[in-house]
Amino acid sequence: MKKIVVLTGAGMSAESGISTFRDSGGLWDKYPVEDVATPEGYARNPQLVIDFYNARRKQLLSVEPNEGHRLVAALEEQYDVTVVTQNVDNLHERAGSTRVIHLHGELTKVTSSFSPNNPKYIRELHPEEYEVHMGDCAADGSQLRPFIVWFGESVPNIEVATDYVEQADILIIIGTSLNVYPAAGLIRYTKSDTPIYLIDPADVNVPYGLPVHIIKKGASEGMRELIEII
């Protein structure tokens, strides 16, 4: 069975109504990244950060996976599929994808402020727990913080993702600007003969001069076209 790796970014979930961060009018326009997505911002104003992610979690309750998510999940009927996502939402899982590697953390999980990557302290929240409060503590007694990889923090799953990309027979990239590292660097770990497809309605600067088949469409329309090709 051929192995497919699907690398997804914010454009994957945009059709579901989840705000992108970088586009004009995106979340970074409203909330400075240094305030809500850095360890320093969290140390400075933990209440602001906790409230920000509480709001992101509540948004998850009002959105559904789009056709693009469902078509990615449907690839598993014929291929061995690994989704590597920069997104922190759970829409790939809800669409039916069974192997999803989250590079930047998961919105529905919380962890220890002292030891955020220790599996002992990472906990999945039920929807009724999506509102985290100051004073809610992890098992080590520290404030529960979002299980999110903030700017300036290491990306624990990048090596796992790299292993999958190195073995991929097909690489599909959906809805990412290829500007955010280390995720953007994954494209250079493909085998020399691995076909690479990129789905995005915007112009994307493809690094390294790699031969990439570009489908200049949104996630759902682009996936429909890609399925006809592969």
Catalytic positions are: 104
Cβ contacts of residue 147 below 8 Å, gap of 6+? 105, 106, 109, 110, 111, 116, 122
Tokens describing residue 53: 């992610």
- Tell me which residue of 162, 61, 52 sits closest to 103, measured CA to CA: 162
N residues, the chain: 230
